[in-house]
Amino acid sequence: MIQSAAVLPALDESDLAARVASLSLEQKVRLLTGADFWSLHPEPAAGLRRLVVSDGPAGVRGERWDERDPSANVPSPTALAATWDEELIEELGGLLASEARRKGVDVVLAPTVNLHRTPYAGRHFECFSEDPLLTARIGVSYVCGVQDGGVGATVKHFIANDSETERMTLDAHIDERTLRELYLAPFEAIIREAGVWSVMASYNAVNGEPMTESSLLRDVLQRELDFDGLVMSDWFATSSTEASARAALDLVMPGPDGPWGEALLQAVRAGKVDPATIDDKVLRVLRLAARVGALEGTTSSRPPAFDDPHIAAALRRIAAASFVLARNERALLPLDLRGLERVAVIGPNAAAARTLGGGSATVLPPYTVSPLEGLRSALQPAVQVTHSLGLQPSRRIPVAPVSCLHVPGTSEPGVELRFLDPDGTLLASEHRRGCAFKWLGSLDIAGAVSRIEVHAVLRASRPGTYAIGASGLGRYRLALDGEEVLDERLELPPGADIVEGLMTPPQTAHRVELDAGQEIGIVLTHDVRSAASGDGLLAVSFELNVALPYAGDDHEIGRAEAVAAEADIVVLVVGTTEEVESEGFDRTSLSLPGRQDELVRRVTAVNRSTIVVVNAGAPVLMPWADDVAAVLLAWFPGQEFGNALADVLLGVAEPGGRLPTTWPASEAGLPSTRPIDGVLRYDEGLSVGYRGGGRDTLFPFGHGLGYSSWEYEALGAPPRAAPGAAVRVTVELRNTGGRRSREVVQLYASRSDSGIARPVRWLVGFAAVIAEPGERATATLIVPPRAFQHWSVEHGRWALEPGTFALAAGSSSAALPMSTRITMA
Ligand code: BGC
């Protein structure tokens, strides 16, 4: 495993303690609740400046949610894990640290290391893997990369926040062995090996204790793992004063209001919370501040410099390294350009770049490259690239495309926002080139804004029915050419999650018929006060929506067939969107949304040389998989999507990804995300994903094809090993194909004669090799002692069952040509 090379700024603990001691109780308690949505209070008396935190796993958003302040959009975490490449992910961590510093951010709210317990999970794309070892190793690399750059990482969400349904209140019932061996393992590794500076406590409860009050914080994080960093709550997760303060929760987020503050002061004064507990929390705040250089007299290390071309090149490389070539019949890929005249790029995700999932992990990229754009720039003019939408799976009205809007009285693309006070006086206006508007914490406008108006002119590019409307919460009025056509109050259904309200809120729209070239004036008015959240924190979030005329799925699928039939090769890009995979809700079906399965069948029926690119953050069902020539799983790959895709399809880069999670063939037997009477039982225990064996699997854990072939020739392992020692295993293999290639060698253990319940097999190590055609390579895998241990519930510690373990090596959990045995005694 990577040892953190982090050059931690030397912490003078006695200096920190002196600073704590210099503060009054009031000053101390004030530091323990956020100052606003994204920052901690400054405290001049302690030399503490304002400290800024920001989401998240797919980039660093910064304090503003605004297309004018963009962020590098990196591949989604599942894609990162699919690289099985620790060095690459450490490099990415450096890029994130550089982004954080550019945006004035001290602590990144990532990585998310909850496990892929079930593919239904809404935030599956935001987590690395179903496997704790792979999650740990990718997580350690990520955190080392970020923190080596002097920026804090926050490993989240501690713990068992593996799905979204009722996430604020559910009580996950998990047996102790499963908790230790699976769900805690990545946190443990990241604390011990990467020395992470901060942990986020999740919304849910585990075995009856809400995580912001859980004994696991003190007993496991602090006492057992010697965690010296800060535990912050997930946003609005803390609901108690004394219980959470007595637990090892250090910081309530966000602020300035919340259950601590004055109530905590009273509790300390009344002797219900020990002042020493408060001091320890403040010490942890200051320690974090010292680490990120937010404390007078401290400096943090600097991130590597990443300029725009460097970012683009890195993200293109990482995305290509994450794509999993799941199937490649007739060696259709890489594409042979000889004789190729026409390539059709088809599908709902072909021209729209679906680069990220939804929720708090959202960032606003400076640009995106869609598959269509990427292939056009790689192939044209030598090869003709045609396109067809295929169908429109979403029934939601999309955010208005800026290309069809301009600011009234100008030819500037985009819209004008006007901020008005209660008397209707204009306080400020701004020109925006995006139509999704979000302010969390502050509007950054001087004066009392009570109304925001969006002014724009829509120019119809083609004749037909246009739907014009709004999404959000609160009151919306829409006027078209000066005439009010809508006045509606939009509310969330009872029990809905706050983030769902921000990301996929209710919509309203008015339909108009327009001729090609016709223009129509739009004024959308939103009353701000009604949208502010009840606890004094401002959260304004709404969209101007415009749906362009749509001829219907039947018509579009028919067109796609015609375009496909005329092409030499079809690249069919299907998938989900940030609307389907997001936060605050889980998926209820793993099928591709809309009629996409039918689209795949009909397109592949007219053109057998079809490559199906699946652009989804998490597994989807593919009832057609055995009938299509090639399947490439592309995840939510970040802003360089199209360029990376072109590189892989044309063979400029090898598809580097291996599945970090089992890809199921059906929904049968998958763990549910639905709590019963508030309780979510982890009844599958240790049998998560491939560990359970026997499930209906389409593509197994670890699977992924490169552009070469390999023969495994020898597996070397000592016949015996002493408990507690790491075991060195070597695998010799040969590149038997025709090009230079990288292979991820995986090693699994199993135990058939065990006296305790065991998974069918479990990953104990992996290593990548690169070789030229015909060349041999040796992969060296160091298996940590923990890989052979289990958690003894009886003794409350890790234990080794003496005896013989089987070891098997190969290219996936289901392709293990080499095996041997090792006796631990
Ligand atoms: C999410 C966290 C996130 C926080 C701040 C919460 O709803 O669960 O992952 O960091 O919001 O955006």
| CA–CA gap between residue 40 and residue 31 (Å, rounded) | 7
The verdict on the CB of residue 109 being under 6 Å from ligand 1 is yes
Is omega for the bond preceding 256 within 30 degrees of 0, making it cis? Answer: yes
Q: Which of 234, 504, 533 has most ligand 1 atoms within 8 Å of its beta carbon, as the pocket-test mutant? A: 234
Residue with tokens 């599958």: 684
Q: Which of 54, 63, 109, 112 has most ligand 1 atoms within 8 Å of its beta carbon, as the pocket-test mutant? A: 109
| CA–CA gap between residue 97 and residue 95 (Å, rounded) | 5
pLDDT digits (tens, 9 = 90+) for 702-724: 999 999 999 999 999 999 999 88
The Å distance, Cα 494 to ligand 1 centre, comes to: 21
**What's the token pair of residue 295?**
């404390």
Q: Order of strands across the sheet with 710-716?
A: 710-716, 727-735, 776-783
- For 818, the 3-state DSSP assignment is strand
The verdict on the CB of residue 499 being under 6 Å from ligand 1 is yes
Of ligand 1's listed atoms, the one at least distance from the Cα of 167 is 8
The verdict on the CB of residue 234 being under 6 Å from ligand 1 is yes
Q: 200 vs 114, 203, 652, CA distance in Å?
A: 12, 10, 40
Of ligand 1's listed atoms, the one at least distance from the Cα of 112 is 9
Q: Residue 30 belongs to what H/E stretch?
A: helix 25-30
- 149 backbone φψ class: left, alpha, beta (φ>0; ψ -120 to 50): alpha
The Å distance, Cα 234 to ligand 1 centre, comes to: 6
pLDDT at 533: 42
The Å distance, Cα 87 to ligand 1 centre, comes to: 27
**What's the token pair of residue 215?**
């004994």
The Å distance, Cα 716 to ligand 1 centre, comes to: 45
Q: How many helices (H) and strands (E) does the chain have?
A: 17, 39
DSSP string for 400-423: PPGGGEE-TTS--BSEEEEEE-TT
pLDDT at 529: 64
| CA–CA gap between residue 147 and residue 301 (Å, rounded) | 8
The verdict on the CB of residue 235 being under 6 Å from ligand 1 is yes
The Å distance, Cα 113 to ligand 1 centre, comes to: 13
Active site residues: 234
Q: Per DSSP, what are the bridge partners of residue 514?
A: 464
Which residue has the least CA distance to atom 9 on ligand 1?
Answer: 360
| CA–CA gap between residue 16 and residue 272 (Å, rounded) | 25
The verdict on the CB of residue 84 being under 6 Å from ligand 1 is no
**Alpha helices (H) in 86-183, listed in sequence order:** 86-102, 132-148, 176-178
Is omega for the bond preceding 381 within 30 degrees of 0, making it cis? Answer: yes
pLDDT at 496: 80
Of ligand 1's listed atoms, the one at least distance from the Cα of 55 is 10
- For 43, the 3-state DSSP assignment is strand
pLDDT at 78: 98
Residue 760's Cβ-count burial label (10 Å; 0-12, 13-18, 19+) is middle
The verdict on the CB of residue 55 being under 6 Å from ligand 1 is yes
Tell me which residue of 146, 130, 129, 147 sits closest to 138, measured CA to CA. Answer: 129
Is omega for the bond preceding 77 within 30 degrees of 0, making it cis? Answer: no
pLDDT digits (tens, 9 = 90+) for 293-304: 999 999 888 999
The Å distance, Cα 85 to ligand 1 centre, comes to: 27
* C-beta of residue 765 within 8 angstroms of C-beta of residue 787: yes
Of ligand 1's listed atoms, the one at least distance from the Cα of 109 is 10
The verdict on the CB of residue 56 being under 6 Å from ligand 1 is yes
pTM, two decimal places: 0.96
| CA–CA gap between residue 373 and residue 370 (Å, rounded) | 5
Q: Per DSSP, what are the bridge partners of residue 518?
A: none
Which residue has the least CA distance to atom 6 on ligand 1?
Answer: 235
Tell me which residue of 279, 297, 290 sits closest to 27, measured CA to CA. Answer: 279
Which residue has the least CA distance to atom 12 on ligand 1?
Answer: 360
The verdict on the CB of residue 80 being under 6 Å from ligand 1 is no
Residues 6+ apart with CB under 8 A from 321: 83, 85, 88, 653, 656, 657
The verdict on the CB of residue 156 being under 6 Å from ligand 1 is yes
* C-beta of residue 159 within 8 angstroms of C-beta of residue 184: yes
pLDDT at 10: 61
Residues 6+ apart with CB under 8 A from 715: 729, 730, 731, 732, 807, 809, 818, 819, 820
Amino acid at 752: S
Q: Per DSSP, what are the bridge partners of residue 750?
A: 806
Q: What angle do CA 467, 471, 475 make, to 5 degrees?
A: 110
Is omega for the bond preceding 785 within 30 degrees of 0, making it cis? Answer: no
The Å distance, Cα 40 to ligand 1 centre, comes to: 16
The Å distance, Cα 360 to ligand 1 centre, comes to: 5
Of ligand 1's listed atoms, the one at least distance from the Cα of 161 is 8
**What's the token pair of residue 803?**
């005896």
DSSP string for 629-656: SEEEE--S--TTHHHHHHHHHTTSS---
Which residue has the least CA distance to atom 8 on ligand 1?
Answer: 234
Instruction: Flag residues of the chain having pLDDT under 50.
Output: 1-9, 530-535
Would you give the end-to-end CA distance of the chain in angstroms?
24
- For 250, the 3-state DSSP assignment is coil
Tell me which residue of 577, 583, 579 sits closest to 124, measured CA to CA. Answer: 583
